Amino acid sequence: AAAGAVPAAKLENADALIDSVETFIFDCDGVIWKGDKLIDGVPETLDMLRSKGKRLVFVTNNSTKSRKQYGKKFETLGLNVNEEEIFASSFAAAAYLQSIDFPKDKKVYVIGEDGILKELELAGFQYLGGPSDGDKKIELKPGFYMEHDKDVGAVVVGFDRYFNYYKVQYGTLCIRENPGCLFIATNRDAVTHLTDAQEWAGGGSMVGAILGSTKQEPLVVGKPSTFMMDYLAKKFGITTSQICMVGDRLDTDILFGQNGGCKTLLVLSGVTSVQMLQSPDNSIQPDFYTNQISDFLTLKAA
Ligand code: PLP
Ligand code: CA
């Protein structure tokens, strides 16, 4: 359903939803796990869906890890998930650059963590920046300017706990002074749940700093942009109407599903409460909502 349409229905017949699609795309944090803790009933639910022949795909906006690093996280949590089924926004940045044939003799400046570096490296792109620039101080050249690499053709910005003014100025110089330099954001999540105790400033805060200085809108490759949806629809040869997108956040996951033409299911096991869903301030209505994905095991037709 389109945004602003019919209010979401409480999921009552899970089997009907499961039978109506061939693929489930699961958001990770708030759906599969919360931080480092597995959400109840997830292994059994995924096993049931696999036994029914459903394709399972996992899409996360958290760019701090690569697909390989997420593969380890799934394994540590006891989940049987293949690296090929995981699409993190770190990977999306590298896949986007590949999709536009970003020249291998150009460089990428990274404001973000290790996952982005690992995915760029795997894709064969030259990069600079990343966590190690967190220790850098600006060194002024005679004439009082900061030098930057004129071969940087793209600045990729994601969640970065090593963020500082050096990086802001470096990224800004690249975007403003290198002709055609791209400004790519892995995601723009306003806040994240690094711990359950409170909300933490998300990747959108780092993206916002560069937007503020360059006055350029970033090209977003994570949810809710359709880049990853188009990518995986093509990779697996899926029609998006045959997909159900399951997520806990309205302005990333549910919008991602709706932008892609998928069925959408909101779970209340993450950042969104039923009050937020039903608030007059919210215009994003999924097709269905339910407490958590293990409801698939119990919600049968009446
Ligand atoms: N970005 C960061 C830094 C996060 O810590 C999280 C969740 O923990 C997210 C984004 C959102 O991840 P997801 O798309 O899996 O909900
Ligand atoms: Ca989430």
pLDDT tens, residue by residue, 3-29:
456 899 999 999 999 999 999 999 999
205 alpha carbon, distance to own chain's centre: 15
Residue 113: active-site member: no
- Rounded mean pLDDT of 71-91? 96
Among 26, 34, 60, 186, which residue has the most ligand 1 atoms within 8 Å of its CB, making it the best to mutate?
60
Residues recorded for the chain: 302
Atom of ligand 1 nearest to the CA of 222: 14
pLDDT at 300: 79
Give the residue, 191 or 194, on which the prediction is more confident.
Answer: 191
pLDDT at 194: 80
Nearest bound ligand to the CA of residue 202? 1
> Residue 297: what residue type?
L
Residue 176 in tokens = 């403003």
- What is the DSSP-derived secondary structure letter of residue 141? B
Residues with CB under 5 A from ligand 2 (ion): 27, 29-30, 248-249
Residues within a 6 A CB radius of ligand 1: 27-30, 60-62, 64, 159, 187, 189, 192-194, 202-203
pLDDT-based confidence at residue 253 (cuts at 50, 70, 90): very high
| Interatomic CA distance for residues 253 and 261, integer angstroms | 12
ipTM value for the complex: 0.98
Among 25, 29, 58, which residue has the most ligand 1 atoms within 8 Å of its CB, making it the best to mutate?
29
pLDDT in tens, 27-78: 999 999 998 899 999 999 999 999 999 999 999 999 999 999 999 999 999 9
